[in-house]
Copies of this chain bind each other. A is one copy, B any other.
């Protein structure tokens, strides 16, 4: 039997009624002849509640215990989904990460999937089971402790299963009906894309478009998993949603595919660091070991053996970054005057594979922002995207102006 992976996010399983609705969608695919692997998130709000409890209990928590706590929400929905399917006479059973097993690294709270042996589930399919319901977001470390994959990790679980089982497609059911040129809550003229390339989706995801976890897109790209994002709240046709696919499958496209943004960024500057070869490595190794996800990096020109190092990171990691730098200083690894944090910045990016062949996108972006009186604090670019860090209060304005300037409300 061909295998289909269907992933339901938190809002799609938020209540027993919604689980029932999702189960009906699964039933439709089973009726078409698929063996289905369903990946479920926790009911919406549950994981946040658990994360809140952990933070309140222990601000600098042990990530192993964090994982043990926050993974529990998915176990609930997996069991309930299996029961719902059974009620509909669809042979189903639930699997927790360690039962499959979903083998991950031991990087707790941010683990990577290393292997998903398909044998256990395949054997059940062979016995007549039609649906394996798997708790998303979780796995098991080499030591046998529970791990989680980071926020949005259920997307990655879904793609990893699609790759491991050679699934025909991986459908990500969510609360939006596809991938948009930007977030419609910020720009009402945002337009749904029928198709988007893996590369663009990857940039959009990593830039804060929350529709898919970055790593899930990376995996899909690497293993050529056909990935579809669609709404669990609408009747579905076979070409609903947005297909994330190879560049070649997209005929025409705008130079810029979308405008992404990330509201909760912080800009941190380590002032007057003693400069020497390898200093950047020392700083960013310490930050990485401290669990800080550094994004943009700027180094000022060194004067008299001292330099300033600037980076951006999620605003809720400022304390961790501070702790990591203090520890590195105590350990004698680095030496600096002070660490300044600007916690009121946001990142806005334009993304498009068309940039490869069209010049002037950066110049146009900077002019649009300048015309709106928005000051740019940090710039980074890649082959298919340009990102800027700006004051958070200008974020919506910047997104709207860029969306308009690049004609994203119109089909190419």
Contacts and interface: CB of A to CB of B under 8 A. Distances in A.
Interface in A46-67: 50, 53-54, 56-58, 61-62, 64-66
Tell me which of A66, A68, A86, A99 has the highest count of chain B C-beta atoms within 10 A of its own C-beta: A68
Interface in A144-177: 144-146
A72 interface: yes
Given A58-B86, A99-B145, A65 B53 contact: no
Contact of A68 (B54, B79, B145, B146): B79
A84 interface: yes
Interface residues of A, number: 36
Contacts of A338: none
A93 interface: yes
B69 A79 contact: yes
Given A69-B75, A76-B72, A83 B96 contact: no
How many copies of the chain does the oligomer comprise?
A: 2
B83 A57 contact: yes
A68 B56 CA distance: 27
Contact of A86 (B65, B84, B93, B146): B65
A99 B86 CA distance: 28
Contacts of A82: 62, 65, 68
Interface majority SS (helix, strand, loop, mixed), chain A: helix
B54 A83 contact: yes
B87 A80 contact: no
15 contacts: A53-B76, A53-B80, A54-B80, A54-B83, A58-B87, A65-B93, A65-B94, A66-B79, A68-B75, A68-B78, A69-B76, A72-B75, A96-B146, A98-B98, A99-B144
Interface of A: 16, 19, 50, 53-54, 56-58, 61-62, 64-66, 68-69, 71-73, 75-76, 78-80, 82-84, 86-87, 93-94, 96, 98-99, 144-146
Given A19-B57, A50-B76, A68-B78, 4 more contacts: A53-B76, A58-B84, A65-B94, A68-B75
